[in-house]
A and B are shown apart, each in its own frame.
Chain A
Amino acid sequence: MNEVLTAGTVMLGLAGFFGVVLALANRFLRVHEDPRLDTVEEMLPGTNCGACGVPGCRAFAETLVSGERSPGGCTVATPGEVEDIAGYLGVAAGFEEKRVARLHCAGGKSSVRRLAEYQGFTSCRAAYQVNAGGSACPWGCLGLGDCDEVCDFDAIHMNDEDLPVVEVELCTACNDCVEVCPVDLFTIEPLSAKLLVQCNNPLVGEAAGGICQVVCDGCSLCAKDAADGVIEMSGGLPVIRDQAAATPRATFRCPTRAIQWVEGNQFERREAVS
């Protein structure tokens, strides 16, 4: 009987002791967190995509509450959601310019010369390890859809030319496709940058022409037609130096349509200009 009482008393004593410790800890060691943080995190999309530049939505919420960033930095949230967060925090929405992933290759299966058929594990990165894939252009799209696979927002789908089409409405510029592509064909561009070079092949002249129908053969007509300083030829390809001054004029004389004026998605309205 005595043992039972001792055990009970000891347990109660311990419970009381730790209760006091916890109460003191709660009183003196408490971390004061802005109560708005949880609410803001709740209001963010919660995709943890990293497109805003900080790791995860909670970290972004912290920058919002501290005022370092404005809610418009989240490219995933709809404008309405951004306004809501801005209203809740009492700050300006600060919409940032929408950015999207753009592919610098238009060499679909009917355009590029095929030298061999790749058979094996269906993945661009695996195919690239085997003689850089079966196409004649080792700088071009492999067309096996690793970017489609990796996209968390279902913004990329492969078209019937086996080229990835990025839905600008859905793309959040999260950078995943940029990282996964073994040929480094994607870049993140502002949506307002409409003059796009859809080729990554540094060859010039006939050497390029024999490889792909929509290759840039380095003729530099685009650079001549554009205003001064807009396009500079570098490494056999045009590089757009000044998007603000760019006009569709630069694309008019391109013999292979390698440089395009793109409004909206790539590869969808190829005849829109001209």
Chain B
Amino acid sequence: MKLLPFLRPPTFRHGVHPDEQKAATAGLPIERMPFVEEYVMPLAQHIGAPARAIVEPGQRVERGEMIAEPGGFVSTAHHAPATGTVRAIDLRPHPSGRLQPAIVIGADPFSSQRLSADAQPLPKGLPGPELVRRIQDAGLVGLGGAAFPSHVKLQVPEGKKARFVMLNGCECEPYLTCDHRIMLERPRAVIGGLRLIMEQVGAERGYVGVENNKADAIEALRQAVGREGLPIEVFALQVKYPQGAEKMMIDAILRQEVPSGGLPLDLELLVNNVGTAAAMVDLVETGQPLIERVLTVSGDGVRRPANLLVPLGTSIEAVLDYCGGMLPETRQVLLGGPMMGMAQKNLDAPIVKGTGGILASLRPAPFIEEEPCIRCARCLEACPLYLNPARIALLAREERVPELSTYHAMDCFECAACSFVCPSHIPLVQLIRMGKAMVRQAAEAEAS
């Protein structure tokens, strides 16, 4: 293969190859998790301003009813994930590790999946701005992990054009298979969502990028595109981490680079996750706002790994219990994948819109005492953005804040490829994250 590079599937340069570990859940159909007793909906579970609660304790709410309105343009609404009564609005555990304002809903026993009467299919041919508003009110955010409000992307700013729309189905994080299952089980919804976005922004072409370890999903998507001559192309990309990072997928498919500090829109491009596209079709066809999401529960600490459709606000513990519980020797629980996921200390924290997986691990990556940097440059060869992780980590350690910006620390999206390869076990990505916090703090201090 090495001799015939033109025969290999497209990819970006650099990156790493962590063990995929997807076999445990890749073949398991998505199952719906039954309702639990209590749901905790944090007001901040997306990028941007937190939502504003519009319900009072004691109030009755129906499944799909809006309980919090957007707190600004870059913000989104939240909805009751189950029919029941609002118990309280107070500080509750949040996946960030802090306690944050949340709406607590006690679900009715034996409540049904019926949606509130407010949730109606969207009429056909809604004008663009109206559709954007409906999507904001339906609480749609990017389901790939960053939870960026979807309507903001669909409102292309004046003077910009979105000629291409890309769907991201790479799912390069080890263990996670939720996007894989969505593409396999709902290919028509995925492609339908892509067409919807393309119509909304007036794009000419659509692309779907999928890593080629999901041959069945690629086949299903190609069939859904069909032979009608839709301007949509499904790309099988090389299996490499972090292929699913927006910028890396653009590089692989179009061989173009998003400028530092820029957005894909600078290349006349929009990128969305496949799950987001499917959720958009749910909204248009059934009127269902974003009240549940698919996530993968896996890892060697889980008795019954699964792909679950979970109502938002379910506690991590309840999801793990549904999967047969954790083995008593479990030493770490992560929200998200093993590369970028966040270790959780409190299993009372709820599933939020950006949660793609729960991993319970018996043998987490050990924290090994770090050794001095031996200048091997493996982190430079791993970094998909061509940054110098060792240098940035050193600057962060020495608090040389102005130089951090010189070395483009803020471009780092914390994929952890550098930490993964470092033979000296230097916690590079953690140091870089600390450095980024310093840069932000300095910028805030300057502004005030």
Contact = CB atoms under 8 A, between A and B. Distances in A.
A119 B367 contact: yes
Contacts of A133: 97, 345
A192 interface: no
B430 interface: yes
Contacts of A131: 95-97, 342-345
Contact of A129 (B91, B346, B433): B433
A121 B344 contact: no
Contacts of B367: 119-120
B169 to A, nearest CB: 29
Interface string A110-134: 0000011001110101100111111
Contact of B430 (A116, A126, A132, A182): A126
Contacts of A130: 97, 342-343, 430
B437 A129 contact: yes
Interface string B334-347: 00000000111110
Contacts of B427: 120-121, 126
Nearest to A136: B346
Contacts of B91: 202-203, 207
B146 interface: no
A129 B429 CA distance: 11
B166 interface: no
Given A115-B345, A130-B343, A136-B346, A120 B97 contact: no
A203 B99 CA distance: 9
A264 interface: no
Nearest to A123: B434
Contacts of B344: 116, 131
B434 A125 contact: yes
Interface string B420-438: 0000000100110110011
B368 to A, nearest CB: 10
Contacts of A56: none
B8 interface: no
A121 B72 CA distance: 37
B98 interface: yes
A166 B399 CA distance: 23
Nearest to B349: A131
Interface residues of B, number: 21
**How big is the A interface, by class?**
20 to 34
- Which DSSP category, helix, strand, loop or mixed, fits chain A's interface? loop
Given A125-B437, A129-B437, A202-B91, A134 B345 contact: yes
A197 to B, nearest CB: 19
Interface string B159-184: 00000000000000000000000000
Contacts, number: 55
Contacts of B95: 131
A116 B430 CA distance: 18
Contacts of A121: 370, 427, 430-431, 434
Contacts of A207: 90-91
A126 to B, nearest CB: 5
Contacts of B430: 120-121, 126, 129-130
A134 B345 CA distance: 6
Interface string A154-167: 00000000000000
A163 B90 CA distance: 29
Interface string B131-144: 00000000000000
A130 B334 CA distance: 11
A120 to B, nearest CB: 6
A237 to B, nearest CB: 13
Nearest to B367: A119
A138 interface: yes
A92 to B, nearest CB: 35
Nearest to B344: A131
Interface in B396-448: 427, 430-431, 433-434, 437-438
Given A121-B431, A125-B437, A126-B431, A116 B345 contact: yes
Interface string A253-268: 0000000000000000
Nearest to A130: B343
Contacts of A115: 345-346
A132 B96 contact: yes
Given A131-B97, A132-B96, A116 B343 contact: yes
A131 to B, nearest CB: 3
Nearest to A114: B345
Given A115-B346, A134-B345, A126 B97 contact: no
Nearest to A138: B98
B57 to A, nearest CB: 15
A126 B434 contact: yes
Contacts of B342: 130-131
Interface in B89-116: 90-91, 95-99
A115 B99 CA distance: 14
Given A116-B343, A129-B437, 17 more contacts: A116-B344, A121-B427, A123-B434, A125-B434, A125-B437, A126-B431, A129-B430, A129-B434, A130-B343, A130-B430, A131-B345, A132-B98, A138-B98, A138-B99, A182-B437, A207-B90, A207-B91
23 contacts: A115-B346, A120-B367, A121-B370, A121-B434, A125-B434, A125-B437, A126-B427, A126-B431, A126-B434, A129-B433, A130-B342, A130-B430, A131-B96, A131-B97, A131-B343, A131-B345, A132-B97, A133-B345, A136-B346, A138-B98, A138-B99, A203-B91, A207-B91
Which 3 residue pairs are nearest across A and B when measured between Cβ atoms?
A132-B97, A131-B97, A116-B345
Interface of B: 90-91, 95-99, 342-346, 367, 370, 427, 430-431, 433-434, 437-438
